[in-house]
Amino acid sequence: MRSSAIVLIVAFSYLALLFVIAAWGDRRAEQRRSLVNSPTIYSLSIAVYCTAWTFYGSVGRAATTGPSFLLIYLGPTLAMLCGWMLIRKMIRIARAQRITSIADFISARYGKSGAIGALVALIAIIAIMPYIALQLKAITVSYAILTQYPDQSQPQLSLSGFLQDKAFWVALVLSVFIILFGTRHLDASERHEGMVTAIAFESIVKLCAFLAVGAFATFILYDGPMDLVTQAALLIPDISHRFGLDQVPGGALGWFGTLILALLAFITLPRQFQVLVVENVNEQHLRRASWLFPLYLLLINLFVIPIALAGLMGGTSTGEPDNFVLTLPLAAGLDWLPLLVFIGGLSAATSMMIVETIALSTMVSNQLVMPLLIRLPSLHLDKRHDLSGWLLGIRRIAIILILILGYLYHALIGEAYSLVTIGLVSFAAAAQFAPSLLLGLYWKGACRSGAAAGMIAGILVWGWTLLIPGFALSGWLDTGFIDKGPFDLGWLRPYALFGLEGWDIYTHALFWSLLLNLGLLVGLSLFSRQSGLEQTQAALFTNALRPEAAQAAIWQGHASRYELFMLLSRYLGDGASIRLLGHTRPKQDDDSPATPEMIAAAEHGLTGALGSATARILINSVVRGEALEMSSILSILDTTSQALEYNRRLEQKSSELARIGEELRSANERLRELDRLKDEFVAMVSHELRTPLTSIRAFAEILRDTGQIPDEKRAHFIDIIVRESERLSRLIEEILDMARLESGRMTLKPTRCNFNEVIHHSVEAVTRLNEERGVELELKLPAQPCWIVADPDRLQQVLINLLGNANKFAAHDQPRVLLTLTPYKRSYRLAVEDNGPGIAEAERERVFEKFHQIEQAREQQHRTPASHPRGTGLGLPISRGIINHLGGRLWADRGEQWGGACFILELPQAPEQVQREAVESQAG
């Protein structure tokens, strides 16, 4: 029953069955009756986590290091428990951004950086290649044991004998399978329903196989677990100590370190990312998977300890602990069970290889090869018409290369490693993605340089503390440096870096590599600036679970529909392009602009096929103008700038209001002042009017009431009445003048007139007054006529007023008044000076205020009662108003002759006068 032929037939039939199942899954997907759209299938597909390492290695690990094998499954259990928060966020981001692999995810988070994507892809290849080799080794070993039992010698691996190595043929069949179901078509979502169906089926097979062996060992070989344990305790004296914590490498600390390692690796292993995130159909499936997958892990581990115990009791017949699963039923002489176990191990190995190879080939083609090819100008890839063939070709070549590399690794150095070692070394390498990935999901500030530096440093430390010593222990290198350090530098010993001793090698490596990784990521992020796109992506990633984050990226650039369509169809083919753009094929001369939605859809489509970094380059090649960066940043900044703008406006408004308030206050003050002046004016005017009126009334009453008044006295009284009436009417006339002046309604009739003549008329008018007081008036006038433009009557009124004032204020003894007229520049200057006390400098402007003189006059009146007819106090303001209207000036100064008061009046010369003078001076 265990002849090579039967085993081979069964094995390859099993692989053929996988093809059928995958084809069926794909068929159902095409018919839109997807099998994958089920939380149970999703949970089972996650069980790709359990590889041949679990299937064979767990028992080996349990037999040698006690319960530490459980850690590899407790870590993922914890990760799945918080998966509803963490993994759902990743799924949502991946859906929104059409993420195709973990390299794509991390590169998208850090500003769609091509360099980060390439770095992640390279690390993944270095980390995972040995893991793939491990699966091939498991197949070879299990086949050898199955067919050659009880001969348990390790199969001799050599490159020359690869045709005899069944693992080689399995790898070959698998590469065909992966090419068929992994790269059948380029889909925007990179989902492979057929493959997922096959993986889920394989998960069931490996679980059943393992449970079957476990049940056989526990219940058929022995009478249940109790019997097994007691017999083991009897048979092997020190066995009871093998399952305590002290058996775990590194003790409690090593336990914790391995737990964290498994937790991180579960999320960051490329194949786990593929099934958890990329292949997820509906994020609600995560609900069921969050507990169903841990349950799967629990079940597959349930019989590990019983099998290990039974195997240990088997002695030489069961051989190596790594092979107990297979040798136990073989030792019992069973035929079919070993075959089932072999198939279980085969399914564990193949499912891992299938998913891992697809994930790696996507990374290689999207993050490593395509970006390089597109940038190579000699290939002219950007001008080719159909690149979808190229893409698929690159991916297929990548798949074959990955499997060949895996096989070479297995054939060349596979012998040296035990299964367990390779698994954990790979885990530690994949865990280097965790800081950039997880911190990037929750911390907006994590930046590209930090992520790159952290991952590079982390992988270097990993290489030094795990990979190179591993090579050395395999006999490839001199092991001296492990104990003494390179060049005898003790602090560089790979298993005791910086003298940190007593830890198990994995916890030790994980501690140093993650410390450096995290430190560089955080440190550099704190001290560097993110680019615009990086900030946008950081915001989109960290806010992915918020409801408002469901927006699509908006392009602000311009591209013609034809160009966009051609770009898409080159990579995705015509059919997919028409579906994406929702249009018929545009004509060549169709240069109507593509809508932002079309550009966004095109980017999504290309991202799905090529990865975000490459898609960005391609879209940028046809879109002119501002692309995603600016608009997205603006939308993020929008709220801030709006608030700022609003603030600025408010500030402006309030300062404006303050200014208006100030103006209003000053206007109010002026109004109050004017009001006060008006009241004063009214009071004064009524006072001024009352004075003559009172005397008129008094004398009129005397005349009426007194019977006999001498004629002489009567005439005197009547004379007073007439004079006071005249004064009254003059006062009223002046008030009217004042009112006209102030309201601007004073009408002047300017004509050409001789200033000399006006002066003479005015002097004549005051002659009588002068004679009364005995004032000596002196005139100094030019001989020739002085032509001006003025209203002669009004001018005369001004002159009479000035002369009257001079008359009033001239000295008591020998009162003298001097009137001079002189040409001054282009005007005439008239000065009226008296020899009185003069006006104090502070008073000189105030005399032009209304009623100002009243006070003075009143004071004067007290001193010399009724000696002079009093002024109204309006003469000077009216005079200044008239002169201003005539275009001249009137002011008071100190007299030059006698130091008394001096009023100076300036009026411009008439234009003709100026001309004529010029003519005369020329003639003369």
Shortest distance, position 230 Cβ to other proteins, whole Å: 5
Q: What CA–CA distance (Å, rounded) separates 606 from 611?
A: 7
- Residue 585 as a binder of other proteins (CB under 8 A): the answer is no
- Residue 427 as a binder of other proteins (CB under 8 A): the answer is no
- Residue 255 as a binder of other proteins (CB under 8 A): the answer is yes
For 509-530, b/e burial (b = at least 16 CB within 10 A) is bbbbbbebbbbbbbebbeeeeb
Contact between 605 and 580 under an 8 Å Cβ cutoff? The reply is yes
Nearer to other proteins, 400 or 424 (CB): 424
Q: 619 φ, ψ to 5°?
A: -65, -40
Shortest distance, position 666 Cβ to other proteins, whole Å: 56
Residues 294-313 that bind other proteins (CB under 8 A): 294-295, 298, 301-302, 305
CB atoms within 10 A of CB 395: 24
Shortest distance, position 365 Cβ to other proteins, whole Å: 36
SS3 for 36? coil
Nearer to other proteins, 244 or 315 (CB): 244
- Residue 549 as a binder of other proteins (CB under 8 A): the answer is no
Nearer to other proteins, 81 or 215 (CB): 81
CB atoms within 10 A of CB 249: 18
Q: Which stretch binds other proteins (CB under 8 A): 46-54, 200-208, 253-261, 670-678?
A: 253-261
For 257-268, b/e burial (b = at least 16 CB within 10 A) is bbbbbbbbbbbb
Instruction: Give one DSSP letter per residue of 843-871, joined into a string.
Output: GTTGGGSTTHHHHHHHHHHHHSTTSSPPP
Binding string, 371-390, against other proteins, x = CB under 8 A?
--------------------
Nearer to other proteins, 232 or 759 (CB): 232
Q: Which of 260, 60, 493 is nearest to 502 (CA)?
A: 493
Shortest distance, position 286 Cβ to other proteins, whole Å: 9
- Residue 539 as a binder of other proteins (CB under 8 A): the answer is no
Contact between 47 and 237 under an 8 Å Cβ cutoff? The reply is no
Shortest distance, position 244 Cβ to other proteins, whole Å: 4
Among the listed residues 177, 243, 407, 755, the single contact to other proteins using CB under 8 A: 243
Burial of 408 (0-12, 13-18, 19+ CB in 10 A): middle
Contact between 794 and 748 under an 8 Å Cβ cutoff? The reply is yes
Among the listed residues 2, 95, 184, 288, the single contact to other proteins using CB under 8 A: 288
- Residue 471 as a binder of other proteins (CB under 8 A): the answer is no
Q: What CA–CA distance (Å, rounded) separates 366 from 826?
A: 93
- Residue 78 as a binder of other proteins (CB under 8 A): the answer is yes
Q: What CA–CA distance (Å, rounded) separates 647 from 666?
A: 29
Amino acid symbol at 235: L
Shortest distance, position 239 Cβ to other proteins, whole Å: 8
Q: Greatest CA span in the chain, whole angstroms? A: 176
C-alpha distances in Å from residue 40, one per residue of 96, 189, 308, 573: 24, 21, 30, 34
Give the chain's length: 924
Q: Which stretch binds other proteins (CB under 8 A): 5-13, 283-291, 360-368, 841-849?
A: 283-291
Nearer to other proteins, 110 or 243 (CB): 243
Among the listed residues 51, 64, 65, 77, the single contact to other proteins using CB under 8 A: 77
Residues 201-240 that bind other proteins (CB under 8 A): 226, 229-230, 232-233, 240
Among the listed residues 70, 102, 346, 441, the single contact to other proteins using CB under 8 A: 70
Shortest distance, position 280 Cβ to other proteins, whole Å: 16
* Distance in angstroms between the alpha carbons of the first and the last residue of the chain: 153
Shortest distance, position 37 Cβ to other proteins, whole Å: 16
Residues 818-877 that bind other proteins (CB under 8 A): none
- Residue 150 as a binder of other proteins (CB under 8 A): the answer is no
- Residue 689 as a binder of other proteins (CB under 8 A): the answer is no
- Residue 38 as a binder of other proteins (CB under 8 A): the answer is no
Shortest distance, position 228 Cβ to other proteins, whole Å: 10
Among the listed residues 102, 259, 411, 455, the single contact to other proteins using CB under 8 A: 259
Q: What CA–CA distance (Å, rounded) separates 363 from 54?
A: 26
- Residue 253 as a binder of other proteins (CB under 8 A): the answer is yes
Q: Which stretch binds other proteins (CB under 8 A): 254-262, 495-503, 591-599, 757-765?
A: 254-262
- Residue 256 as a binder of other proteins (CB under 8 A): the answer is yes
Shortest distance, position 90 Cβ to other proteins, whole Å: 15
- Residue 682 as a binder of other proteins (CB under 8 A): the answer is no
Interface with other proteins (CB under 8 A), residue total 39
In sign, the C-alpha dihedral spanning 310, 312, 316, 322 is positive
Nearer to other proteins, 76 or 117 (CB): 76
Nearer to other proteins, 295 or 644 (CB): 295
Nearer to other proteins, 504 or 603 (CB): 504
Nearer to other proteins, 89 or 870 (CB): 89
Shortest distance, position 287 Cβ to other proteins, whole Å: 5
- Residue 315 as a binder of other proteins (CB under 8 A): the answer is no
Among the listed residues 20, 159, 235, 245, the single contact to other proteins using CB under 8 A: 245
Q: What CA–CA distance (Å, rounded) separates 207 from 54?
A: 11
Amino acid symbol at 433: F
Shortest distance, position 76 Cβ to other proteins, whole Å: 11
For 175-205, b/e burial (b = at least 16 CB within 10 A) is bebbbebbbeebebbbbbbbbbbbbbbbbeb
Q: What would the 3-class secondary structure string for 780-830 be?
A: ECCCCCCEEEECHHHHHHHHHHHHHHHHHHCCCCCCEEEEEEEEECCEEEE
For 56-76, b/e burial (b = at least 16 CB within 10 A) is bbbbbbbbbbbbbbbbbbbbb
Q: Which stretch binds other proteins (CB under 8 A): 21-29, 210-218, 286-294, 579-587?
A: 286-294
- Residue 546 as a binder of other proteins (CB under 8 A): the answer is yes
Instruction: Give one DSSP letter per residue of 249-274, joined into a string.
Output: TTHHHHHHHHHHHHHHHHHHSHHHHI
| Interface residues toward other proteins, by CB under 8 A | 66-67, 70, 74, 77-78, 80-82, 84-85, 226, 229-230, 232-233, 240-241, 243-245, 252-253, 255-256, 259, 284, 287-288, 290-292, 294-295, 298, 301-302, 305, 546
